């Protein structure tokens, strides 16, 4: 048994913060560890459904739940935003100047859309990275009769890196079902000299795109938008016109992280890649999309990080040695159209392999929101 009760403060009530809190509760008792989660979200949205909602392939009513309902018994959920981090004194302060002491601090603030970095974005582009945006895009696709669609991302990094190509394959299928694929050009832009960050996966995805008549534009780093003229320009000097532009917005870490000096202007926190701690602090960690780690920003990433960190903290509190490390594990299932999908497993040292599509993987993706809300978020798996 722990001699002294410890307090763990988790800042952020998104996927990373929720999974972390619930997993830690499974690994400890309230008598050993008090868990306080700070956040202010009314609802928790399962973002991967955004690649299906615009096509009517998923009912959005099943893609979100009230945030407060997702925390297990024995977790204190405080609806407040943290404004100040004082790591030297192990305290955080929220907007009403209420200060809370902690023994462990876990920053799970995620990232944000920084559309101010790309003037004209809000007038020019649609996207599918929020429930509201997915619903707006659904109406635009319903009204679409044919023309030129340009799809891509404004910058790197983004949440769920495979989502742009996953959406593109879904779009190809949707237009065929609607009977207007032959009236539509699909152009896919990507900022690197391939269609995805990981080379062997990129080769597989590029082949599928070519088979489906999707026009690829590599090394297309978005420089500017012309909403009136419906044009998108690259730093490399290429210009594309469009009838519908679907562009993942620029991403940045949260402003509060930069304002507190925990990160540079990017807003992403540098942490130890194997232990997730910030600088030399052995009681301050960052997980999920808030970090600058060279792995996918996705709920599955936060899931593996939380498993490591919950085990570590619960063992430390009880005076047990814990020698495991986080090795960058990620698992990701993405739809490739035609009721098929691929699942990628990889880590820092093990690159993913994309060899074949399967209907079993598609079923896994189709049911992922049910599994997410019932088991993953709850810390059960």
pLDDT in tens, the chain (381 residues): 445 899 999 999 999 999 999 999 999 999 999 999 999 999 999 999 999 999 999 999 999 999 999 999 999 999 999 999 999 999 999 988 899 999 999 999 999 999 999 999 999 999 999 999 999 999 999 999 999 999 999 999 999 999 999 999 999 999 999 999 999 999 999 999 999 999 989 999 999 999 999 999 999 999 999 999 999 999 999 999 999 999 999 999 999 999 999 999 999 999 999 999 999 999 999 999 999 999 999 998 999 999 999 999 999 999 998 999 999 999 889 999 888 999 988 899 988 877 778 999 888 888 888 899 999 999 888
In this prediction, residue 2 carries a pLDDT of 43
In this prediction, residue 87 carries a pLDDT of 98
In this prediction, residue 3 carries a pLDDT of 59
In this prediction, residue 381 carries a pLDDT of 81
- Dist CA 186 CA 338 (whole Å): 17
pTM recorded for the entire structure: 0.95
55: which 2 tokens? Answer: 């096509």
Quick one: 78 exposed, middle or buried, by C-beta within 10 A (0-12, 13-18, 19+)? middle
- Dist CA 130 CA 214 (whole Å): 25
- Dist CA 300 CA 333 (whole Å): 10
Other C-beta atoms lying within 10 Å of the C-beta of residue 239: 12
* Domains, in order of start, for the chain: 6-110+254-330 (3.50.50.60), 115-250 (3.50.50.60)
In this prediction, residue 1 carries a pLDDT of 42
337: which 2 tokens? Answer: 């159209």
**Nearest in space to 165 (alpha carbons), one of 203, 121, 209:** 209
DSSP helix, strand, coil percent of the chain (3-state; round to 5): 30, 30, 40
């Amino acid at each position: 048994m722990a001699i002294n009760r410890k307090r763990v403060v988790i800042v952020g009530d998104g996927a990373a913060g929720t999974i972390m809190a619930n997993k830690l509760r499974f690994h400890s008792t309230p008598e050993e560890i008090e868990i306080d989660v700070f956040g202010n979200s009314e609802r928790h949205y399962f973002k991967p459904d955004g690649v299906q909602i615009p096509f009517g392939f998923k009912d959005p009513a099943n893609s979100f739940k009230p945030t407060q309902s997702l925390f297990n018994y024995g977790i204190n959920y405080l609806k407040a935003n943290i404004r100040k981090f004082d790591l030297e004194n192990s305290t955080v302060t929220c907007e009403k100047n209420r200060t809370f002491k902690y023994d462990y601090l876990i920053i799970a603030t995620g990232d944000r859309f920084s559309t101010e970095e790309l003037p004209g974005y809000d007038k020019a582009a649609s996207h599918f990275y929020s429930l509201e945006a997915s619903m707006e895009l659904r109406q635009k696709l319903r009204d679409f009769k044919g023309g030129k669609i340009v799809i891509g991302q404004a910058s790197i990094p983004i949440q769920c890196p495979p989502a742009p190509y996953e959406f593109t394959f879904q779009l190809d299928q949707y237009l065929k079902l609607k009977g207007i694929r032959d009236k539509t050009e699909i152009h896919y832009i990507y900022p690197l000299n391939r269609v995805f960050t990981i080379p062997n996966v990129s080769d597989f995805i590029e082949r599928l795109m070519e088979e489906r008549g999707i026009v690829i534009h590599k090394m297309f780093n978005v420089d500017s938008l012309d909403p009136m003229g419906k044009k998108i320009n690259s730093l490399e000097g290429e210009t594309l016109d469009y009838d519908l532009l679907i562009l993942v917005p620029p991403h940045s870490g949260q402003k509060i992280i930069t304002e507190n000096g925990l990160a540079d202007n990017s807003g992403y926190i540098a942490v130890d890649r194997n232990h997730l701690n910030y600088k030399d602090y052995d009681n301050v960690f960052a997980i999920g999309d808030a970090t600058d780690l060279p792995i996918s920003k996705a709920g599955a990433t936060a899931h593996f990080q939380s498993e490591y960190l919950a085990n570590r903290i619960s063992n430390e509190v009880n005076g047990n040695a814990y020698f495991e490390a986080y090795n960058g594990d990620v698992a990701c299932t993405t739809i490739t159209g035609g009721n098929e999908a691929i699942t990628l497993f990889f880590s820092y040292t093990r690159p993913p392999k994309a060899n074949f599509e399967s209907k079993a993987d598609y079923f896994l993706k189709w049911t992922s929101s049910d599994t997410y809300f019932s088991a993953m978020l709850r810390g059960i798996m």
